[in-house]
Amino acid sequence: MSHSCCRNNRRSVYLGALVISVLALAGCDRAAFDAAAWREADLSTRDRARMAPDLIASGRINGLDRAGVIQLLGAPTPTDKFAGSDMIYVLGPERGLLAIDHQWLLIELDERGRVAAYRIVED
């Protein structure tokens, strides 16, 4: 009886370690925004996607004009997706094992040509 009790305790420890590892890795999908790293990012990776939450939280693009956004982020990504958005940047493949879609940063400019809104979307 005590032998099966030890086996069950060992399983619980392994299961707990697995859960903690998965939760820790889930939080690792973020990085501090770095303008040079953003501009040089390999677009087939999630490098930009990891930096996007920090970029948005910092408010660094709030109120910038088109030239200021380009100076910070580089040229927008050429695409025919998301008609009506003023500036579009690919962030990389979506999270997951079967990443088919991509994440994108959509930036809207106001009538003065300054950043008024932005959001992350998946296609």
Handedness of CA 102, 110, 75, 68 (dihedral sign): negative
* CB 33 within 8 Å of CB 51: yes
Residues 49 and 23 in one domain: no
Residues 39 and 21 in one domain: no
Q: Whole-angstrom Cα distance, residue 35 to residue 52? A: 11
Q: How confident is the model at residue 100 (pLDDT cuts 50, 70, 90)?
A: confident
Stretch among 19-23, 65-69, 84-88 having the lowest mean pLDDT = 19-23
Q: Helix, strand, or coil here: 61?
A: coil
* DSSP class of 80: S
> What value does the mean pLDDT take over residues 69-81?
96
Residues 93 and 42 in one domain: yes
- State both tokens at 111: 């009538």
> What value does the mean pLDDT take over residues 64-78?
97
pLDDT at 29: 72
pLDDT at 14: 53
Residues 42 and 2 in one domain: no
> What value does the mean pLDDT take over residues 52-60?
96
**Full residue range of the structural domain in which residue 2 is found:** 1-29
CA angle 73, 33, 85 (to 5 degrees): 40
Residues 75 and 96 in one domain: yes
> What value does the mean pLDDT take over residues 48-74?
97
> What value does the mean pLDDT take over residues 89-94?
93
Task: Give the largest Cα separation in the chain, rounded.
Answer: 76
pTM of the model: 0.75
Q: Which amino acid is at 11?
A: R
Q: Is the model's pLDDT at 26 over the cut of 50?
A: no
CA terminus-to-terminus distance, the chain: 55
